[in-house]
Structure 1
Amino acid sequence: MAEDLPFDNDKEQSNINVIREIPDKRKYWFVRTYGGKLFDWFFEMGRVGIAGNTIPLKLIADGIKDDVTFNALRTSVENNIEDTRAGAATMLSRQLVNFYHKMNVGDIVMIPSDNSDYIAFGVVASDLIENKKIKDTFLHNDRTESYPQRYRDVEWIKIMSKRDVVGDMRNLFATQMGLTNADKYADFIEGNISTFFQKDEYYYSSMFVDLNDDEELNAFELYRYLEAVTKLYKHYCAVHGIEENEELYLKIKIQSQGNNIWKWLKAAGGTGVAAILGMSLVGSDPTVKINKQEGFEASLKGNLFKNITEMYDNIVQTNIAKEEKELEIENNKIDLINKKRELGLLTADEVEKYQIQLVDSAQQLQLKSIESKEVDISEVISN
Structure 2
Amino acid sequence: MQKNMYGEIPVVEIDENQRYWLVRTQSGEYYQEFFHENFIGIGWDELDLRRIYKTPNEEQMIEHIKTQYPDEKQPGRILNQIKRFLYDMKIGDIVLIPSHSSLCVSFGTVESDLYLEEITIEDVFAGKCPFQKRRKVKWSKTVQREELDPYLYGLLNSHHTITDATPYSTFIDRTLHSFYIKGNSAHLILGIQKPDHIPAVELIDVLNKTLEIIPFINSLTDSNYKKEDIDIRLTLNSQGIIEIVTFTSPVLILGIGVLLHYLIGGKLSGKMSITSEEKKVELESSSDGLLGKFLKIKQHIGRQKLKEMELAHKMAFEKLQAKLPTELKNLPDPSELNSKKED
Alignment partner of 1:207 is 2:185: no
Match of 1:73 among 49, 61, 65: 61
Match of 2:232 among 245, 250, 254: 250
Match of 1:111 among 97, 101, 118: 97
Matched residue type, 2:167: K
Aligned to 1:365: 320
**1:362: how far off?**
1.7
Query: Does the residue aligned with 2:233 lie in a helix, a strand or coil?
Result: strand
**1:115: how far off?**
0.9
CA gap of 1:315–1:350, structure 2 versus 1, over 3 A, is: closer
Distance, in Å, in 2 between the alignment partners of 1:169 and 1:219 is 26
- Cα pair 1:232 1:354 within 8 Å, conserved: no
Distance, in Å, in 2 between the alignment partners of 1:49 and 1:366 is 41
Instruction: Give the unaligned 5+ runs of structure 2.
Output: 1-7, 269-282, 328-343
**1:349: how far off?**
6.5
1:215-235: CA deviations, max 9, x gaps? Answer: 101110000000111121243
**1:32: how far off?**
0.9
**1:271: how far off?**
3.7
Alignment partner of 1:260 is 2:242: yes
Identity %: 20
Query: Which one scores higher on RCO, CA 8 angstroms, separation ≥ 6?
Result: 1
**1:180: how far off?**
0.7
Query: Does the residue aligned with 1:244 lie in a helix, a strand or coil?
Result: coil
CA gap of 1:220–1:47, structure 2 versus 1, over 3 A, is: same
Query: Does the residue aligned with 2:131 lie in a helix, a strand or coil?
Result: coil
Match of 1:181 among 161, 164, 171: 164
Query: Does the residue aligned with 1:168 lie in a helix, a strand or coil?
Result: helix
1:251-279: CA deviations, max 9, x gaps? Answer: 22122322232222434355422213436
Distance, in Å, in 1 between the alignment partners of 2:78 and 2:304 is 63
Match of 1:160 among 113, 131, 143: 143
1:261-315: CA deviations, max 9, x gaps? Answer: 22224343554222134369x4xx6469xx9xxxx97779xxxxxx97x722535
Query: Does the residue aligned with 2:95 lie in a helix, a strand or coil?
Result: strand
Matched residue type, 1:229: T
1:327-356: CA deviations, max 9, x gaps? Answer: xxxxxxxxxxxxxxxxxxxx9866654543
Instruction: Give the unaligned 5+ runs of structure 1.
Output: 1-15, 301-306, 317-346, 373-383
Aligned to 1:235: 216
1:88-121: CA deviations, max 9, x gaps? Answer: 4322311211111111111111111111111111
The total of aligned residue pairs comes to 300
**1:39: how far off?**
0.7
**1:134: how far off?**
5.4
**1:22: how far off?**
1.3
What is the root-mean-square deviation of aligned Cα atoms in Å?
A: 3.5
- Cα pair 2:190 2:324 within 8 Å, conserved: yes
Matched residue type, 1:61: Y
1:177-236: CA deviations, max 9, x gaps? Answer: 111111122122122222211211222122321243xx1011100000001111212431
Match of 2:17 among 16, 25, 35: 25
Distance, in Å, in 1 between the alignment partners of 2:322 and 2:62 is 50
- Cα pair 1:229 1:276 within 8 Å, conserved: no
- Cα pair 2:85 2:162 within 8 Å, conserved: yes
Aligned to 1:217: 198
- Cα pair 1:137 1:145 within 8 Å, conserved: yes
**1:83: how far off?**
7.1
- Cα pair 2:189 2:243 within 8 Å, conserved: yes
Query: Does the residue aligned with 1:132 lie in a helix, a strand or coil?
Result: coil
Matched residue type, 2:135: R
Aligned to 1:314: 299
